[in-house]
Structures are given as C-alpha cells and as structure tokens.
A and B are shown apart, each in its own frame.
Chain A
C-alpha cells in the first residue's frame, strides 16, 4: 500500500551498513590475495601470465607527458641534447587526420608483441620474449647490429650512441647495445606497475591500465572484453600486448 507518509529507511540503512561491514571484512582479503600473488623471487616467470597494457587515448591529454617523464626518471634516461640519437623508450605521438582534421594524441612504446619481428631477426637471440610476454634485450649478448631496430614496425628500439655513466642499478644500459621499453620488468617482477602507468594513474588521468591479460578477472581483461580496442598495425598480426582505445 503506498501512502505519502515518510518511507521508513531504517531497514535500508541496516542493509547498507551490513553490506559495508561485509565489504570491509572481505576487502583486505582481496587486497592481500592480490599482493600474495606477486611471484616469489626464486620462481621463474611462466606463460600462465601475459602482461599487457590498455591505453585509452580519449583520456590522453594533449601536451601531457607524465608517462614519458616518469619513464625517463625511472630508468635514468638522461638526454645528451642530441634528439636524433638520444634514447626514448616511450613517446607521445600526435595524430591529425588528413581528411577530417581530427586530432588526438597517444603514448607509443614497445608493443610487446606475441610474435615480435625484433625477436625473429636478432642473430644472437639477445632480443627475446620472456615467458610472461615481456619483450626485452639481453644486453649481455647484444652485439649492437641494430637489425632489430630495422625490423620493429613501431620504431620502439633505441641504440645507445655514447658512453654512459651513472646508470641506475635497476636499469643497466651501455654504449653499443640496443634497448627499449621493458614494461619496467624489475618493478613488475616485484609486483608493482610500470612507472608510466603509475604516473598516469597517480596524476588521475587514468589513461593507462597494466595487468595480466591471461587473468579474466584482472582489470585490463575486463576492460578489453567490455570495450572495443585496437592494435597499432593490426594488419601485421603480431598480437601486441599494448592495446589502444579510441584510435
């Protein structure tokens, strides 16, 4: 029987309170469960995990370079004032449609393909794909032939053209070898996010998501399933680990 008397909200409040309490009890368990999933240091990586990144270009602001700056700081990528030979692991690319004039911007980094051309062409096997999908360069056996740089469809790789000093301990890099974004592999192995994603999220742009694409419960998997996303140069069928929304 509906009447115009004030609705009794006490039951609603009780249910609301109970739900909050229940969530409060379970949430730490969920968080702890996530943390406890981080791989122990003595366990090798496995293909059960596939790291991937989803970039929502709609949320990517023109002129913002938080991801680029964070990467440079994380890995000690000091420039030498020579933009043509200075290394860049991630960069912002500005697009303008020739026909319509529509403009947009997006960060471009190593796409961590499932079938990386750079891995195919490396003569020594220094350019390789880890079991968990991260593509990186084993600089101990890189001979600096730069064939991988010729092969990469995304120009993701940089060659180090000068003697370096004061490298950061977590990012060894040296003259004569080739390097590229490695998804901040040391941080990822410690259960953290890559520096670019952390910076983007930290500044509340939320344009970048990083996670396990093999885990259907992860945020990235759910978003990839729910919203349309594309690979750059999807025609090459490399099955990249980095996907984009809005291009």
Chain B
C-alpha cells in the first residue's frame, strides 16, 4: 500500500514539475524563436529564394549540396550561396548582432532547435560594409552579374524602382 502511494506520489510530483516549466519562463517571453527580418525580399509574394516553409525544412540540404559544387567545381551561382544568404539576412552594421548572439539570423532558430552549426568557424557571419564589396578590384566580367533572382528591398518605398534591382550590389 505504501509502495503504491509512493509511486503515485512520485507521479504527481513529476506532473507538477512538468506543469511548472512554463511558469519558469519569464512572463512575456514566447518559447518560439524571434527570427530577425532580412534586408531584402525576393518579391512581394516570396521572401527568400525558395518558399519559407521549404527553406526551413531544406536549407541545410541546399547549402551542403551547393558548397560542394562551389568548392570542387567552381560553380558560383547565387541562389544557394552562403555568402548571398548572409548578404540578405544579416546586417553589416557594426552594432548588428554577431553569430554568437541569439539575435543573429542563423542562431535565432538554431539555438531554439538546439542544433549546432559550425559554418561560422570559417565563414564570415556578416557581409562586409561599404556596399558589400568583397574583393579588392572592381568587377569587370559581365558574367558575375548573372543571377536568377531579382530581389526587392523591404522598405515600402518605390516598388517599381526596386523591382529591377539586381542582387549584385557593387
């Protein structure tokens, strides 16, 4: 009899502990991640190069596949290039959050999902300032301007002007 009571007592304690967890979260905090908005949108309808739901599920596959193509075959298309993701999703302002903080675009979700990423052991976690120039000499080859997406800036200003902007911002 006492055994059973101890068991049910333990169960009750366990249930109480689980119910307490939300109470431990500070009032006003949501358990879901706060994902910062990107600098630009691809179009009015679609924010990223793929639909958001698709990106959430598969961005790692796209990145992993693309990086092999880039490193081994020299294919430098922009669609799934990590540099381009960072260009769009992370601000180059000096006070913008770095990857060590939870406010960085990548880490906002990754800390929530508790998945370690080590991209930024090597890769820059934010674009270079000064119009995102990435190398010493100005770009001369027209081929570099090739892109399959024409992004639109987020500000609700002149849509028609921005709609024709190319993703290349030198």
Quick check: do A and B touch in the complex, using CB within 8 A?
Answer: yes
Name 27 A/B residue pairs within 8 A (Cβ), A-sorted. Answer: A41-B77, A41-B146, A43-B75, A44-B69, A44-B73, A128-B72, A130-B72, A130-B74, A131-B73, A136-B71, A166-B124, A168-B128, A169-B86, A169-B127, A169-B134, A174-B122, A174-B123, A177-B122, A186-B76, A186-B135, A190-B76, A190-B135, A190-B143, A191-B141, A191-B143, A192-B135, A192-B141
- Most chain A C-beta atoms within 10 Å of own C-beta, residue among B67, B68, B124: B124
Whether A41 and B122, one on each chain, are in contact in the complex, defined by CB atoms closer than 8 angstroms, is no
Number of B positions contacting A (CB below 8 A): 30
A192 to chain B, nearest CB (A): 6
Whether A189 and B74, one on each chain, are in contact in the complex, defined by CB atoms closer than 8 angstroms, is yes
Whether A198 and B137, one on each chain, are in contact in the complex, defined by CB atoms closer than 8 angstroms, is yes
Per-position 1/0 for A164-177, Cβ under 8 A of B = 10111110111111
Identify which of B121, B124, B127, B140 contacts A175 (C-beta below 8 A).
Answer: B121
Whether A192 and B137, one on each chain, are in contact in the complex, defined by CB atoms closer than 8 angstroms, is yes
Chain A contacts for B143, CB-based, 8 A: 38-41, 190-191
Chain A residue at minimum C-beta to C-beta distance from B121: A174
Chain B contacts for A187, CB-based, 8 A: 135, 137
Identify which of A39, A70, A192, A195 contacts B74 (C-beta below 8 A).
Answer: A39
Per-position 1/0 for B49-89, Cβ under 8 A of A = 00000000000000000011101111111100001001000
A206 on the interface (CB 8 Å rule)?
Answer: no
CA distance A155 to B72 in the complex (A): 23
CA distance A195 to B83 in the complex (A): 20
Whether A172 and B140, one on each chain, are in contact in the complex, defined by CB atoms closer than 8 angstroms, is no
Whether A169 and B75, one on each chain, are in contact in the complex, defined by CB atoms closer than 8 angstroms, is no
CA distance A84 to B128 in the complex (A): 29
Complex A-B, nearest 10 residue pairs according to Cβ-Cβ distance, in ascending order: A174-B122, A44-B73, A174-B121, A172-B122, A191-B141, A45-B74, A38-B141, A169-B124, A172-B123, A41-B76
A165 to chain B, nearest CB (A): 9
Whether B141 and A35, one on each chain, are in contact in the complex, defined by CB atoms closer than 8 angstroms, is yes
A140 on the interface (CB 8 Å rule)?
Answer: yes
CA distance A74 to B134 in the complex (A): 9
Whether A185 and B122, one on each chain, are in contact in the complex, defined by CB atoms closer than 8 angstroms, is no
Whether A169 and B83, one on each chain, are in contact in the complex, defined by CB atoms closer than 8 angstroms, is yes
B144 on the interface (CB 8 Å rule)?
Answer: yes
